[in-house]
Structure 1
């Protein structure tokens, strides 16, 4: 007994001595640790060793790949489409890396490149009125971006995962494995509708992502390249040229200051960052597909980090079985009035649910959700935190601040796929593959092209909608179809687009068959050419003209052009003109008309040989062309064509004789409006006048296929509807199909969908829509909205939105994405294009005050 007690005493003494030694060591080590932390530079603090081959090499010997993902507008898809996207995402998760970090960052939209392009266009503009419009546009975009513009970027981050941790792996094998994982992600996400953004320099892209995250305020004014230049200049100034080849990447990307002194936030370069988590019990038990978009689109200064960690199925199944048995044994001993009874019963049900899912080929994941909130000061930060908590409470979710864990939150949100262990335990939520896929995060589609024109603001996520429809890399064609009921704002939308295209130096033609006066004020105030085609007008476009086309650019590109007969091409168009004027022509009359047209040109010395067109006195110009009266004189002589002559007489000697002149207008102006609205009293004349204008504009559009131009056709149903005919409709459809080849855009607007789809069972209306990559749908009545739904495959949500749109709102459908837009115009633009009676009265009052 004494020997045992002695041994116990000896062991106790050793334990006490060891404990005292540990305390002494800790006391001795404490100042050393503090000193090391205090003396550590920011460059040493970040766990990044280098960036090479598009990979981040970390200091703990991990290899990280970052992919940038283009999002889609998930919520405006139909239920069937949403299901297809979720199933495709499930397929990816089944073969994805074990650890995934999906990161979304939001910030004020960077529109500096767009403004720089606008300033360059301003410097090239010579017309003082257009310069005024451009200055107004620049100020308007700046003001709009300061209030509402938010941009978002999405990243998929994963690390290299060795198959055997005991086997030494060469670097090239690691790089190959990460590249394979990247290609797999690209393939499967493409099935979801997402694209992986390709970058010319992957190392520069990766460094720029880190620099942007660590320098939120600085990156807007000083891009990465400027920071690199500054660092290199400092080395040169300090005489450290021999060290320049060994500068660590951290020196280029690190912030200037980081402050971890506070329990509820971190200050980085003076910007306040707060890190919050959704706790394990803070989720809803049932969610809709894409529910994470609520947080993603919360607004500026809200970043989301979503982690998925796949668990080994065999171990999880074993642990589940054990836990279910333990809970069942506990519930036997618990009374049904015990508070723990319901919790145990719920745990058992959840266990069986998970077990059934694993047996049904689903995988088991731990999911974590971290939210980063940034602000310029502490008050704004607290306000945003409270608003974010309210948002989650409205969805029956919880959100907690990472008190005294802000540094861990900061490191966890770096794109290094490395979630802190404490935060992991506090926020982990178990889900099966289907539940993980329902969090599909790439759901905030936006359009912001540097060289585009502003349409308005995306109502779903407050991003600016700036589209360059002429960018063939993004849009298969530049055509736009605008659909809406009367009063929905089609004319307003068209003129806003036209003025902004003119601002960019794009040639603009507008054909207005109705309410042409609405285009007059804007046209005159930008130095445009307003051409009125009507019986009472002095302006005339001679439909008989064979126009000299400037093929100099085309010949530089292709060499000498083919010597096709210009006369034959013209006569084909004249057949369309006469078929619109005389819809009931029979085949015999068409043949006789063809002979009369050839004879008319022959009398002017013009044959199928193109050389006959040249004026002997001035070979740089064509001969004087015949007019309609010349055709009339030939038709009236033949009894078989006298009916045609009598109908044509109205345009020769009758009330519409203004058509019987040589061309006396000029289409060289960059902004030209052809007003044919005075012809509305006669449906046949309106269709004829519209064709005359379109024919003239089409000839001009084909001259130089490298110059951008846009043809706006308002109320296009006049040419392809029931009151038109197949020849005219084919002509319009041909423009829609091939204008892309001439660097042009056809913008077609209509309000009467019944007539738009009336001819040949809607063949031409559907053809135009199918050849328009971009569609703009404004407010519609229920019946029309249902018709558009079937043609454009819209969801029920989109149809409901269309029928409830206020004036100035619309749905833009492009590149398989639909976005709801509030169209925006500056004060000056509104004054030029508004048709609202009250706004017109205010303009009149201001003009009176100026003159008074």
Structure 2
């Protein structure tokens, strides 16, 4: 299927929208814009619904509530109850849950097809690998319910005299909500006006584009047409039936939940959300002033007592036992007494709740089946789900996340805090994204749904893969590399100290560069470009690297002296003078030029530096005294440095870091991302000389479109580095497999992992562990099929390598 460019799609969508507006202008009957009852949506996300009614909206993440241990569930429930109690009677809430079904085309787009610029044979092999790998992803997706995307929102509404005054109050309420959610581990995000409109647009036009990019609409057009013109549906027919309606080509019905049970399970809401149905669930909640609530319940209790007395009189007069009363009457009397007792305790308030479900289907028969499934869930909770006859328009308008409830008061149910909180809005935390080229990281060990996220969405996309030998650490890194290579256009570079990656890289069509004492492939550590560093003073940044290199070569335990550092800096500027005058490759210096500059300084310190460097220039370790001879234009390049030996291993890893930095600066100007994988990462942090540069590299790399990843099985050595705090603070992605006991305790403390979560990295099987993505920690399992052709080059098990690849 041919793909349109982003600009073509925008133009196409804009033309569609403008045509839709023109069609509506010709209509003389009530327009679809009238369905949108809000007054004005501001850019900052504040909506003026009507009169002096204003609200804001946040998106919030899920947390693993339903499958948590009882102690954890009680804590979350108590915190959620406290959040509800924190709102006074002047604040109205609307919890909105949107479940939508990805189309087959969207599922295909999720596996973004990138075609390499190569020969027809290579392209064919590449597509075969894509097909095989994406078939695996499709199989994994079918194990869960990732065809259904679940989003959660909270709208909070107030009445205020002016917009300016409303801003301050709404921001204060938002801060309170975010603080309470944060204490539960819930991630929140405030939405601006464009995002809110995009969500409304999707609900009204979900079978077209998910998010209308209004920023591409000409400003002149917006002067003539309002935002309502752009997001209103093409057609909406509420006269179709008295208890259903048609929205574009969808059959839709809004139902309300009649809560008749005296007690509900905390699965009441979760069982609806778990259904693989395309629907919109809305809960409008507001509290009653405490004094008014107590007075109202007392009055109701008194009325019920009066009715009870009258019934008893009737029974005596008729000769019946006065204790035999209607069942409903006794139940209501007991319930009112219980509510009154609850309200007179400190932690209970009285709320009114309106619970509606709007379900969308392609055919009338599918809608009927969906409603049957929803009713089955309601019956399990001893409740009734009813169609809103002759109120479909009011029900649908109220269900939209605009914080405006126009349904009839008889649909409300009065509940205490605990009874309202029983509709706890959390089920099982998921990590699933569609935007910014997401990557597959296994299945959620709790829900069996796919974990698919983009590290590019993170503030610090830097990452770590940590695990004991045999836990699947290298395998997991290779699977991430595979996913990145097959569905993005990014560059991927690998530092391979153990010679483990060449078969894997060759299978994907990448290049393997072998750097060793007997190799004819060279990297010049003094390579530079005018964009090097921050692009403003390349020589200064290069001098910083060369200082680090000389610290490793000549510094010893105490490092270079101040005088030696001065000489290094002076000589570096001297040897690059010719390049700055004429920046061509042949004018880039090599180590021998630096060696000569040290000699020519005619100082004791310069001679000491030259003596230390001589082994790497004229001696047996002169592998880095050459101009760069490799052609690293392939998107996937593995640098095999195993043959460097132990004496040059750390230096080789350091030189590669600098070489990659050059690549990153070039790619940044092309708006291209660069992934860099460093196996045996702990070795770079083991020495003071290399750890300082590595930490700076780690912090600066991301600013230039780089995504560095450290891989190590020697977690203890990594954690013993004094620099690990900085590395962890600048890494929002950590992939934890099985950990040794001592390492696990340290990681728990540093990453905030609970004892319950730590069970997933304790004696866990290969490919099982925890993924730390920003503030989210989820258990995963990642079982890659052994019959996949990639498995043979991804496994590190000796017996499997011999069996699948054949003995060397």
TM (norm. structure 1) is: 0.69
Report the CA distance between 1:673 and its aligned residue. Answer: 0.9
1:572 maps onto 2:572 in alignment: no
- Alpha-carbon shift at residue 775 of structure 1 (Å): 1.9
Matched with 2:519 is 538
Match of 2:592 among 626, 637, 651: 626
Q: What is the CA–CA distance in structure 1 between the aligned matches of 2:230 and 2:629, rounded to whole Å?
A: 68
Per-residue CA deviation, residues 827-851 of structure 1 (Å, 9 max, x unaligned), is 9884585328899799779xxxxxx
Residue aligned with 1:93, SS: coil
1:73 is matched with which residue? 62
Partner of 1:151: 149
- Residues 282 and 416 of structure 1, relative CA distance in 2, 3 Å threshold: farther
What residue number does 1:309 align with? 286
Partner of 1:318: 295
1:550-565 matches, cutoff 5 A: 550-552=529-531, 558=536, 561=537, 564=540
Is the contact between residue 33 and residue 232 of structure 2 (CA under 8 Å) also seen in structure 1? Answer: no
Structure 1 partner of 2:87:
93
Question: In the alignment, which residue of structure 1 is the partner of 2:20?
Answer: none
Give the equivalent residue in structure 1 for 2:202. Answer: 212
For 1:619 and 1:673, how far apart are their aligned partners in 2?
23
Q: Residue 510 of structure 1 is aligned with which of 482, 486, 494?
A: 494
Question: Is 1:728 aligned to 2:690, yes or no?
Answer: yes
Secondary structure of the 1:318 match is helix
1:505 and 1:383 map into 2 onto residues whose CA distance is 43
Kept in 2: contact 1:628–1:652 (CA 8 A): no
Q: 2:660 aligns with which of 693, 697, 700?
A: 697
Give yes or no for contact 1:71–1:445 (8 Å, CA) kept in 2. Answer: no
Name the SS for the 1:547 alignment partner.
Answer: coil
Per the alignment, residue 436 of structure 2 pairs with 451
Q: 1:140 aligns to what?
A: 134
Cα distance in 2, alignment partners of residues 103 and 253 from structure 1: 20
Asked if structure 1 preserves the Cα contact closer than 8 Å seen for 2:88 and 2:289, the reply is no
State the aligned residue count: 732
435, 441, 461: which one aligns with 1:478:
461
8 A Cα contact 2:59 2:191, kept in partner: no
Query: Pick from 464, 475, 478: which aligns with 1:495?
Result: 478
The 2-side partners of 1:836 and 1:274 are apart by 55
| Distance verdict in 2 for CA 1:804–1:569, change over 3 Å | closer
Q: 2:674 aligns with which of 692, 706, 709?
A: 709
Q: CA deviation at 1:71?
A: 1.3
| Whole-angstrom CA distance in 2 between matches of 1:627 and 1:510 | 29
Q: Deviations over 1:481-526 (max 9, x none)?
A: 2223334433233223334444533332211234x33x22342244
Q: CA deviation at 1:282?
A: 3.6
Determine if the alignment matches structure 1 residue 738 to structure 2 residue 738.
no
Check whether the contact 1:211–1:224 (CA below 8 A) recurs between aligned residues: no
Mapped to 2, the partners of 1:391 and 1:799 lie a distance apart of 34
Q: What is the deviation of 1:245? A: 6.0
Select which of 391, 399, 402 maps to 2:387.
402
Q: Kindly indicate whether the alpha-carbon contact (under 8 Å) linking 1:510 and 1:711 is maintained by their aligned counterparts in 2.
A: yes
Inter-CA distance 378–650: structure 2 relative to 1 (3 Å threshold): same
C-alpha displacement of 1:809: 5.3
1:311–1:506: structure 2 CA closer, same or farther, 3 Å change rule? same
Deviation of 1:769 after TM superposition, in Å, equals 1.6
Determine the structure 2 residue equivalent to 1:792.
Answer: 751
Structure label with greater radius of gyration: 1
1:738-757 paired onto structure 2 within 5 Å: 738-757=700-719
For each residue in 1:754-805, what CA deviation from the matched residue of structure 2 results, as whole angstroms up to 9, or x when unmatched? 222234xxx2333322220222223446665444222211234432344486
Secondary structure of the structure 2 residue equivalent to 1:740: helix
Q: Could you say which residue in structure 1 is the equivalent of 2:362?
A: 376
Q: How does 1:677-692 map to 2 (within 5 A)?
A: 677=642, 686-687=649-650, 689-692=652-655
Q: Give, in angstroms, the shift of residue 675 of structure 1.
A: 2.2
**Most deviating of 177-186 and 476-485:** 177-186
* Alpha-carbon contact 1:492-1:833 (below 8 Å) kept: no
Inter-partner Cα distance in structure 2 for 1:182 and 1:617:
57
Show the counterpart of 1:670: 635
5+ residue gaps, structure 1, are: 1-38, 163-172, 233-243, 580-584, 846-852
Moved more, 309-318 or 691-700: 691-700
Matches within 5 A, 1:48-87: 48=36, 51-54=39-42, 67-75=56-64, 82=76, 86=80
Q: Does 1:549 align with 2:508?
A: no
Provide the secondary structure at the position in 2 that maps to 1:496. helix
8 Å CA contact 1:446–1:458 kept in 2: the answer is: no
Mark the CA change 1:510 to 1:425 in structure 2 (over 3 Å): closer, same or farther.
same
CA distance in 1, matches of 2:554, 2:96: 63
From 98, 103, 126, the counterpart of 1:105: 98
Q: CA deviation at 1:41?
A: 4.8
Partner of 2:576: 610
Structure 1 residues 430, 272: CA separation in 2 closer, same or farther (over 3 Å shift)?
Answer: same
CA distance in 2, matches of 1:120, 1:383: 36
Instruction: Structure 2 unaligned segments of length 5 or more: list them.
Output: 1-26, 313-320
Q: Secondary structure at the match of 2:675?
A: strand
Provide the secondary structure at the position in 2 that maps to 1:452: coil
Question: In structure 2, do the counterparts of structure 1 residues 185 and 461 end up closer, same or farther at CA, with 3 Å as the change threshold?
Answer: farther
For 1:834, the equivalent position in structure 2 comes to 794
Question: Is 1:521 paired with 2:484?
Answer: no
Residue 707 of structure 2 aligns to a residue in which SS? strand
Which of 343, 348, 365 is 2:351 aligned to?
Answer: 365
- Taking the aligned partners of 2:388 and 2:648, their CA distance within structure 1 comes to 77
Q: CA deviation at 1:307?
A: 1.4
Q: Does 1:813 align with 2:772?
A: yes
Q: What is the CA distance between 1:103 and its match in structure 2?
A: 1.7
**Which residue does 1:30 correspond to in 2?**
none
Greater shift, 565-574 or 792-801, is seen at 565-574
SS at match of 1:74: coil
Q: Once the two structures are superposed, what CA deviation does each residue of 1:537-577 show, in whole Å capped at 9, x if it has no partner?
A: 525556xx55231114778x64xx27549567525313224
Say if 1:117 and 1:372 are closer, same or farther in 2 by CA, change over 3 A: closer
